[in-house]
Amino acid sequence: MKKARPRRTAAGSGLAPYAARAESGPGRLHAEPSHGWRSEFQRDRDRVIHSGGFRRLVYKTQVFINHEGDLYRTRLTHSLEVAQIARTVARALRLNEDLSEAIALAHDLGHPPFGHAGEAALNECMQPWGGFEHNLQSLRVVDELEDRYLGFAGLNLCFETREGILKHCSRRNARRLGAVGERFLLRQPPGLEAQVVNLADEIAYNNHDVDDGLRSGLLAEEALHAVPLFRRHHVPLLEANPEASRRALIHETIRGMINEVVSDMVATTNANIAASQPASIGDVRALGHPLVALSPATRAAHLALKRFLHRHLYRHERVLNVTSRAQNMLKALFACYMHSPEAMPAEHATRALLQEAERGEAGRALAVADYVAGMTDRYAFSEYRRLVDANAEFQQQ
Ligand code: MG
């Protein structure tokens, strides 16, 4: 009889059997020697934090244009809040915390300036050449665009990290992405760490957008009382603490909402795991549906808040006004660089020429989209003033 080997716990001692383990995964695109004392997913997280794309997130819009005020969330603080929730949940579920942190910190690296408005504008510009999608762009950033290593382009992250970054993908794009695209063709979910980040992302923005929306004055507390999740935390606090500061009450409310939804996420996911008993990350993927979830009641409460924010914040006249000006700005910049690639810095202009020689106009467009997507809000604005309208103003009205 074969002698049973003790179960390897190494970097992930205490990990559940269905957690991701770098040592039994597909690894990196370019083989690298392992590090003496850091796990592979820790290295991925560190590579993301040291990347240029990560630093630029601080000047990219989440919902509020970056220069509207220093207290609003940016892509960077959003990513940190996602990572914090994801790590908490990963630890509670005995998943790989380092992996969930790496995915969370990288998940918005491909986001263009000016939030979803910027993404929609770039997608419109790129329609003749397959469109633009921020998830796919985040993968492009870590796979190809970061220029930091002598031996390879990109950050050469582990398969599981790349799988988590690619949250959505069309079947057409999935076919050309190789192994990391396969799950979209097979209709399989990613590992649990990536599933945790997906939901942590939604929980983070739902809650911090309530905070930013109230701070900006675009949302009113009374109006938010129409949302059961907000009302059931805010009203009792208000009644019990009539003298308390408005800011502390809002913070305590949001704290309560996050705790309620995240606690439900852990309990519901634990129950789902117990019911399907996956013995490995392969089992998790083969199930065909996600295990990380909210209970039906909490899901409904979470979605009601999301719908409220869509109607009253994201589609608020003042937000839409800024949005449409930001979109016109990005479209004008895109047209400018398409017409005169030499208006981009030499490295990007050269890339446009080389890619055009290989792939025609699509190659040039891709170089322009990569360049525009990498911009911060304020850099896009200064380029707009340099190339299109020297007198442009971009203030909240
Ligand atoms: Mg996000």
Report pLDDT digits (tens) over 258-274: 999 999 999 999 999 99
User: Total domain count for the chain?
Assistant: 2
Domain boundaries, position 361: 330-387
Question: What does the pLDDT read at residue 395?
Answer: 60
The answer to whether residues 359 and 265 belong to one domain is no
The answer to whether residues 170 and 230 belong to one domain is yes
The answer to whether residues 302 and 183 belong to one domain is yes
**Rg, Å, the chain Cα set:** 22
| Assigned domain for 248 exists | yes
Q: Are 372 and 337 in contact (CB under 8 A)?
A: yes
The answer to whether residues 335 and 302 belong to one domain is no
The answer to whether residues 307 and 371 belong to one domain is no
The count of residues in the chain is 397
pLDDT band at 67 (very low <50, low <70, confident <90, very high): low
Q: Are 219 and 210 in contact (CB under 8 A)?
A: yes
Closest residue by Cα to residue 16 from 280, 251, 243, 257 = 280
The answer to whether residues 169 and 148 belong to one domain is yes
Q: What's the CATH number where 166 sits?
A: 1.10.3210.10
Distance in Å, CA 219 to ligand 1 centroid: 21
Alpha-carbon torsion (17, 21, 23, 25), positive or negative: positive
The answer to whether residues 336 and 381 belong to one domain is yes
| Assigned domain for 32 exists | no
| Assigned domain for 11 exists | no
Q: Are 164 and 191 in contact (CB under 8 A)?
A: yes
| Assigned domain for 277 exists | no
Q: What is the pTM of this model?
A: 0.94
Share of residues in the chain with pLDDT > 70 (%)? 94
Distance in Å, CA 9 to ligand 1 centroid: 32
| Assigned domain for 3 exists | no
Distance in Å, CA 102 to ligand 1 centroid: 13
The answer to whether residues 345 and 307 belong to one domain is no
| Assigned domain for 34 exists | no
Q: What is the Cα–Cα distance from 362 to 367, expressed in whole angstroms?
A: 9
Question: What does the pLDDT read at residue 309?
Answer: 96
Distance in Å, CA 78 to ligand 1 centroid: 7
Q: Are 204 and 58 in contact (CB under 8 A)?
A: no
Q: Convert 169-193 to b/e letters by CB count within 10 Å (16 or more is b).
A: beeebbeebeebbebbeeebbbbbb
Strand partners, 61: 74
The answer to whether residues 254 and 370 belong to one domain is no
pLDDT band at 91 (very low <50, low <70, confident <90, very high): very high
| Assigned domain for 226 exists | yes
Q: Is the pLDDT of residue 46 over 80?
A: yes
Distance in Å, CA 167 to ligand 1 centroid: 11
Distance in Å, CA 195 to ligand 1 centroid: 13
| Assigned domain for 312 exists | yes
Q: Which tokens is 303 given?
A: 């979605």
The answer to whether residues 136 and 254 belong to one domain is yes
